[in-house]
Amino acid sequence: MSELKDKICIITGAGTGIGKGIARRFAKAGATLVLASRKVANLDETAEECRGLGAEVMVHQTDVTSEDSVLSLFAATEQAHGRVDILINNSGVFDNGPFHELSLATWQKVVDVNLTGPFLCARSAFRIMLKTGGGRIVNVASISAQMCRPNASPYNSTKHALTGLTKSIALEGRDHDIVCSVLHPGNILTERRAASDTATDQEPMMTVDELAETALVMVMLPLHVNVLETIVLPTTQAYLGRG
């Protein structure tokens, strides 16, 4: 399959979970990958898998909460490949608790990773795409941006805000063939969840590979078409009745 042949794709949070699943799927589709995360060991593992699928892969250790680190990621990508066609803004963190017990440090940590990080990455991608004739940005949010979960105020708030950021970028990018979309996953059986003793006792789960198929469809569309928001969840997940 070569749906993404010759496409330069940056994926943040690519070492594990959703990011790793998307990286594998895009590798199968022929994309040239730039994988970013804080943990190099995880990135190297993902990169090895993707190279085994035939992809050209570059790894860049990145802290998305650091402006300098993000600028370095995009400068290295531009130097190596000359452009960015696709950005998958996937880095995220879940660190919550009862609202009245939340510390400012917890709040700030979640905001930095889930909102400031995507802003910094999207801004850098946007600047390059302006010069090269457009591209596509996909922000990975959550169904918590649609239906809040309890004891998760920082997470809920940042995912709502990421949806707003997506729409703002889409609005400003549309005259430049810069397309921005948001992907809202439901329950995903990531490595971390699979290792949990309670994983199988919780709500129904889907796999990262199933979500990655949706991400592929979103980025394959021509730049004059935008799936602005996509919600993907297990059919039997109690989504509409939660809260």
Decide: 230 and 212 in contact? Cβ < 8 Å. Answer: no
Residue 70 lies in a domain: yes
Assign residue 88 the CATH number of its domain: 3.40.50.720
Residue 241 lies in a domain: no
In this structure, the number of other CB atoms found within 10 A of the CB of residue 206 comes to 18
Quote the strand ranges of the chain, DSSP E. 8-12, 32-37, 57-61, 86-89, 135-140, 178-185, 229-232
Minimal CA–CA distance to 22: which of 196, 165, 232? 232
Residue 3 lies in a domain: no
Tens of pLDDT along the chain (243 residues) come to 689 999 999 999 999 999 999 999 999 999 999 999 999 999 999 999 999 999 999 999 999 999 999 999 999 999 999 999 999 999 999 988 999 999 999 999 999 999 999 999 999 999 999 999 999 999 999 999 998 989 999 999 999 999 999 999 999 999 999 999 999 999 998 765 555 545 555 678 899 999 999 999 999 999 999 999 999 999 888 765 554
Residue 223 lies in a domain: yes
Query: CA-CA distance, 6 to 82, in Å (whole number)?
Result: 12
Residues written for the chain: 243
Residue 2 lies in a domain: no
Note if 155 is an active site residue: yes
Tell me the residue range of the domain where 193 lies.
8-232
Residue 239 lies in a domain: no
Residue 137 lies in a domain: yes
Question: Which candidate in 155, 158, 162, 184 is catalytic?
Answer: 155
Give me the number of domains the chain comprises: 1
